[in-house]
Amino acid sequence: SQELEQSPQSLIVQEGKNLTINCTSSKTLYGLYWYKQKYGEGLIFLMMLQKGGEEKSHEKITAKLDEKKQQSSLHITASQPSHAGIYLCGADTQGGSEKLVFGKGTKLTVNP
Amino acid sequence: DTGVSQNPRHKITKRGQNVTFRCDPISEHNRLYWYRQTLGQGPEFLTYFQNEAQLEKSRLLSDRFSAERPKGSFSTLEIQRTEQGDSAMYLCASSLGGVPPETQYFGPGTRLLVL
């Protein structure tokens, strides 16, 4: 079974709309990373969350970590076509491990 | 650009052939990682190095796979006797290391197609 479940699997929004992507772990989260991937390319680091209740923002993207629920959310405000891509959450579920496990990703399409 | 670089970006090979990929990490990073990503899936961890020492290998890394980082700088990943199931994107990442582990920064990947 998948250690990290992302929802939704895909999302189509109109430009300007807000959206949220969720990442739920079946194990304790010791560190949670959000990356963005364009099709056929590498992963671009967005944000890292390590403490329960932590919230970080960069430009129009906000990520939160709920340690008790073993869950993280990524929220995009006023989406733009440049936000389109695949959003992946990755996590250290062993505690101090160098090995990251990833969800399957959420494909975001933003229609102009 | 001083990010992680990978070569080649694309590789097409016939089943049974050997292939080798190269990864150049960010210069001051002592940790280097290899992941494999198949279509519609997230990356899966293969192995990682701290300097020249290979510290962890996934069970996904069969005997046909070997990775090296001889001088603690660039790394190579070799696949011997390739199979069609090896077709995937091979991603390399690097980090500063530390406790807790620092962020892993990824390269553009090498896409392998085995015919």
Q: Residue B61's pLDDT is what? A: 86
Cα separation, B90 vs B21, in Å, equals 9
**CB-based contact B92:B31 (threshold 8 Å):** no
Q: B44 and B91 in contact (C-beta within 8 Å)?
A: no
When pLDDT is cut at 50, 70 and 90, the band that residue B1 belongs to is: low
Cα–Cα distance measured from residue B93 to residue B109, given in angstroms and rounded to the nearest whole number = 9
Position A39, amino acid = Y
What pLDDT sits at residue B33?
97
Q: How far is A79 from chain B (nearest CA, A)?
A: 23
Q: How far apart are CA B88 and CA B36, in angstroms?
A: 7
The residue of chain A nearest to residue B3, with distances taken between CA atoms, is A44
The predicted pLDDT at position B47 comes to 96
Q: Does A88 touch chain B (CB under 8 A)?
A: yes
Q: Is residue B79 a contact partner of residue B64, using CB atoms and an 8 Å limit? A: yes
Inter-chain touch B42–A33, beta carbons under 8 Å: no
Query: What tens digit of pLDDT does each residue of A3-45 get?
Result: 999 999 999 999 999 999 999 999 988 889 999 999 889 999 9
Q: What is the predicted pLDDT for the residue at A1?
A: 64
Condensed to tens digits (0 to 9), the pLDDT of residues B14-55 reads 999 999 999 999 998 999 999 999 999 999 999 999 999 999
Euclidean distance between CA atoms B14 and B9, whole angstroms: 17
| Chain B nearest CA to A30, separation (Å) | 9
pLDDT of residue A30: 87
Closest CA to A98 of B63, B57, B26: B57
- What pLDDT is stored for residue A44 in this prediction? 96
Query: Which chain A residues are Cβ-neighbours of B44 within 8 angstroms?
Result: 102
**Alpha carbon distance, N-terminus to C-terminus of chain A:** 37
C-beta separation of B104 from B44 below 8 A: no
Quote the percentage of chain B above a pLDDT of 90. 86
